[in-house]
C-alpha cells in the first residue's frame, strides 16, 4: 500500500509517501467489482489477525490511561477509532 501512495497523482513530492494529499478520502481504498484490488482479501485477513497476534506477543500492551478516550472516526459504513494510544 505504501508503494501505491508514492505513485499517486497530486503528491507534491513524487517518490515520497503522500498520506495527506488533498482529496484522499474521496475514493474507496480497495475498489469494488471487477476493478477491485486483488489483494483486498489478504489485507482484510491480516487486519483481522494482527490485534490477537500483537496481544499474544506483547501481553503487557494496553491502552494508555494518561491519554484521552479514543474518539471514533466519523463514517457511514465502517467505524474505527481515530487513534489508539498504547503503552507497554
The full 3-state SS of the chain, as one line of letters, equals: CHHHHHHCCCCCCCCCCCCCCCCCCCCCCCCCHHHCCCCHHHHHHHHHHHHHHHHHHCCCCEECCCCCCCCEECCCCCCEECCCCEEC
Q: Is the pLDDT of residue 22 over 70?
A: no
Q: Is the pLDDT of residue 28 over 70?
A: no
Domain ranges (residues) in the chain:
2-64
- Can you read off the three cell numbers belonging to residue 44? 482484510
pLDDT value of residue 62:
92
Distance CA(80)–CA(73), nearest Å, equals 6
Mean pLDDT for 2-31 is 57
The mean-pLDDT minimum among 5-9, 19-23, 56-60 falls in 5-9
Give the dihedral sign, CA 36/7/80/43: positive
Query: What percent of the chain stands above pLDDT 90?
Result: 27
Q: Is the pLDDT of residue 80 over 70?
A: yes
Give the chain's mean pLDDT: 77
Mean pLDDT for 19-39 is 68
pTM over 0.75: no
Amino acid at each position: 500500500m505504501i508503494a501505491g501512495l508514492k505513485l499517486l497523482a497530486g503528491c507534491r513530492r513524487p517518490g515520497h509517501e503522500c498520506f495527506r494529499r488533498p482529496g484522499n478520502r474521496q475514493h474507496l481504498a480497495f475498489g469494488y467489482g471487477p476493478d477491485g484490488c486483488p489483494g483486498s482479501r489478504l489485507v482484510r485477513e491480516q487486519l483481522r489477525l494482527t490485534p490477537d497476534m500483537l496481544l499474544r506477543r506483547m501481553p503487557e500492551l494496553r491502552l494508555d490511561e494518561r491519554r484521552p478516550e479514543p474518539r471514533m472516526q466519523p463514517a457511514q459504513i465502517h467505524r474505527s477509532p481515530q487513534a489508539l494510544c498504547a503503552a507497554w
